[in-house]
Amino acid sequence: MRIRFCLAALTLVGGAGLTTLSAPAASAAACSDIDVVAARGTFEPGSLGAIVGDPVFSALQRKLTGKSLSSYKVNYPADLSLTSAAQGNSDLVNHVRSQSAACPNQRFVLVGYSQGANVVDNSIGISSAGAVVGSPIVATIPAALEPKVAAVLLFGNPIRAIGKSVTGTYQSRTIDFCAKGDPICENGGGDVLAHLGYTANAGAAADFAAGKV
């Protein structure tokens, strides 16, 4: 399993092709207090993502005991195609729009790992164009729904390697983890395995989100 993840990370850095793991379509969430919307990394298996999404959701469940939680797996290829991140960007924004209409009191925690961080960046108005597996913005969460986003949790965020970060409206609600040497988020980083260790940050991410909801 670790070798498979390592190959996926190396693919991100070097651009070699791998067979895409198909992503099942996620169903709409019920009217919970908090909907955790997770965009997985390139070729990442797991319900919400084995390295980040699943561990973060579990940590949030333990931390936010007084609130009901639901989850949504952003439906996008998470592969190396030029439109992959853009498809995720569109799906994430559409999900937030539809859930907000169906559940007016629901709030959101957005989670993005690797390419999934590009998806989240774009959705909150920070373009990932020019970053590894990035894309131009194709949709943004409407300003009227912006207060419903309680927290943004990013891991191995590729825009950091091109000198960008989340600024503006969402900055104070965002925590952005970049492991030392991670070549996906650190310009000049050379430790591919660092990109695979973000499960260790799940607890800290949940603590941060708990302080925002």
SS3 annotation, 4-37: HHHHHHHHHHHCCCCCCCCCCCCCCCCCCCEEEE
pLDDT-derived band at 5 (thresholds 50, 70, 90) equals: very low
Number of Cβ within a 10 Å radius of residue 53: 29
Q: Is the pLDDT of residue 11 over 70?
A: no
The catalytically annotated residue of 84, 90, 114, 123 is 114
Q: How confident is the model at residue 28 (pLDDT cuts 50, 70, 90)?
A: very low
What average pLDDT does this structure show over 156-177?
98
Per-residue model confidence (pLDDT) at position 30: 63
Selecting among 35, 91, 176, 182, the annotated active-site residue is 182
pLDDT at residue 56, as a whole number: 98
How would you classify the pairing of strands 149-155 and 107-113?
parallel
- 114 has catalytic annotation: yes
pLDDT, residue 70, reads: 96
Query: Taking all residues of the chain, what is their mean pLDDT, rounded to a whole number?
Result: 89
| Annotated catalytic residue 33 | no
Please give the pLDDT value at position 179. 98
Catalytic site includes residue 182: yes
Sign (positive or negative) of CA dihedral 163, 150, 42, 183: positive
Condensed to tens digits (0 to 9), the pLDDT of residues 52-75 reads: 999 999 999 999 999 999 999 999
- Tell which phi-psi region holds residue 86, choosing left (phi > 0), alpha (psi between -120 and 50) or beta: alpha
pLDDT of 22 higher than 70 = no
User: With pLDDT > 70 as the criterion, what percentage of the chain qualifies?
Assistant: 86
Q: Per the confidence metrics, is the pTM higher than 0.85?
A: yes
Rounded to the nearest 10 degrees, the angle between the axes of helix 115-123 and helix 84-102 is 50
Please check the confidence at residue 138 and state whether its pLDDT lies above 70: yes
